[in-house]
Amino acid sequence: MTALEKITAPQSRVSGTALYDWDYLVQEDRAHRLIYTDPAIFEAEMTQVFGGTWTYLAHESEIPNENDFITRRLGLRPLIIVRDGEGTIRALYNRCTHRGTTLCRWDKGNTKSFQCPYHGWNFLNTGRLRGVPWPDGYAEDMRDPKYNLAQVPRVESYRGFLFGTLNMDAMPLKEHLGPIAPVIDEWLDRNPGGKVVVCEANRFRYKGNWKLAYDNSCDGYHVAYSHRSLLETENRFAGENAKGMAYYRKSPDTQPMYMRYTGHGNHFKDKRPNLEKRPGGLWALESAHPGMEHYEAAFLRRYGDRAFALLDLAGSEPVNINVFPNFSLLGNHIQVFEPVGVAETNAIWYGTMIVDDGSIPSDAVTDINALRMRTQEGFPNFGEVDDIANFEQIQHGLMAVEDEWVYMNRGFGIPGRVKTNDDGTITAPATDEAFMREHFKEWKRLMKGPQNLAITREP
Ligand code: FES
Ligand SMILES: [Fe+2]
């Protein structure tokens, strides 16, 4: 059994935010600029949101073997995500208990213990202090648990996606995901064995608040305008207006796609109804990448009738699945938002590969993964840059202090447009901002607190 330590620092009182009127700052159809610009609100979010709810940490495939580790963050807390010698996945605080320096400065590796670079304290990968140099210099028993590394008390996996929270009252992860779990299942189950393996990432950093990215994650209103050059590039040689996200060019609300809010800040935008339901339907939508024609010809030669179903495994799945506050699945990618400061955020796009489970030919697996890497060079390089430019320009615009509000009222107040379903989920046309109005209700709930937060240490 591990020992729980209740967190005693005041929570929603960080830097005086107890004085903030959250219901004033976020209203049904508009939000105050301060929530994107105020350092005290940002500091409170790093406990109330990144701590108070389930936050994506990493994927299990990044630490497949015993003693594998990667370094990540929960809000601003540096973490070491490790699979210890008994196979238990832990999220250790990457913070030496002696004087507080980060203990591990590598991105990833395999080790049974971590030695602090400062004075050499050595910790097992269970978090327990193993020894200190010249212990006879201490009067105290250094086996006191207070010297063991702090840990995130709750780490749970949903089919390989690892989430953590400090909130002892948070519902189990599966329940928290609720109606978005089957949508994640569909994203996974189209792959052999219902699995993906995470590979390397495209890493972006922008000068803007983290919420600007989450507010955009389900936004179907901006695509035809913000990504115009991408749509034109994708369709320049297409012969017809049929590649990439071209379905956004005509009136998007009359297309069969939609957005759905599933609770707890989570939502998805389903563009799959735009697809032709046939083998190769997804592949046909894929925009031009180097080598595509060569692979297509080789697949037809090698696999005959089966070629297009296999090529679909390389295609970018047209759905955006967003789990509040920092996780998106879109195309073949896992996107993670990492706050750095009130006006600085990392946006990281992890690529995914399919696995060889024997159900499709091994050489097809290799080629499909090569093609998936080409999709990794597509949207992140040609689309994400459009979005990031907007996020940075919003942060500039919000420096106009007297002009206080931003609006999220698209689709609000039009009878019959936004529908609440029997299971409590909410469906609206693809360009509506209903998802944003709803995830801000969750944000407010978390910011108001109080929350039952804790850390743990090995006994
Ligand atoms: S700070 Fe780690 S051993 Fe001193
Ligand atoms: Fe975008």
Please tell me the residue having the least CA distance from ligand 1 atom 1: 99
How remote is the CA of residue 77 from the centroid of ligand 1, in Å?
17
- The atom number, within ligand 1, closest to the CA of 99 reads 1
Largest CA distance in the chain: 79
Across 3-159, the runs of DSSP E, i.e. the strands, are 3-6, 30-32, 55-59, 68-74, 77-83, 89-93, 108-110, 113-115, 122-124, 129-131, 154-158
Per-residue pLDDT, 172: 98
Q: Is 218 helix (H, G, I), strand (E, B) or coil?
A: coil
Question: Tens digit of pLDDT for each residue in 278-302?
Answer: 999 999 999 888 889 999 999 999 9
Q: Is 428 helix (H, G, I), strand (E, B) or coil?
A: strand
Pocket around ligand 1 at a 6 A CB cut-off: 96, 98-99, 101, 116, 118-121
Give yes or no for residue 1 having a pLDDT over 50: no
Backbone φ and ψ for 295, nearest 5 degrees, come out as -65, -40
How remote is the CA of residue 167 from the centroid of ligand 1, in Å?
28
Question: Tens digit of pLDDT for each residue in 354-400?
Answer: 999 999 999 999 999 999 998 888 888 899 999 999 999 999 999 99
Pocket test for ligand 1, best of 94, 98, 138, 147 (most atoms within 8 A of CB): 98
Pocket test for ligand 1, best of 92, 119, 134 (most atoms within 8 A of CB): 119
Distance CA 45, CA 36 (A): 11
Backbone φ and ψ for 334, nearest 5 degrees, come out as -110, 120
Whether this prediction's pTM lies above 0.75 is answered by yes
Strand order across the 161-165 sheet: 55-59, 161-165, 154-158
How remote is the CA of residue 278 from the centroid of ligand 2, in Å?
27
Question: Tens digit of pLDDT for each residue in 94-134?
Answer: 999 999 999 999 999 999 999 999 999 999 999 999 999 99
How remote is the CA of residue 101 from the centroid of ligand 1, in Å?
6
How remote is the CA of residue 97 from the centroid of ligand 1, in Å?
7
Q: Is 281 helix (H, G, I), strand (E, B) or coil?
A: helix
Give strand pairing partners of 269.
259, 320
Give yes or no for residue 10 having a pLDDT over 70: no
Which residue blocks in 38-141 are alpha helix, DSSP H?
39-48
**Burial of residue 263, with CB atoms counted within 10 A of its CB: 0-12 exposed, 13-18 middle, 19 or more buried:** buried
Query: Among residues of the chain, what percentage have pLDDT more than 70?
Result: 97
- The atom number, within ligand 1, closest to the CA of 121 reads 3
Q: Which ligand is nearest to the CA of 134?
A: 1
How remote is the CA of residue 388 from the centroid of ligand 2, in Å?
9
Q: Is 407 helix (H, G, I), strand (E, B) or coil?
A: strand
**Burial of residue 56, with CB atoms counted within 10 A of its CB: 0-12 exposed, 13-18 middle, 19 or more buried:** buried
- Candidates 203, 202, 200, 194; CA nearest to 158 is 194
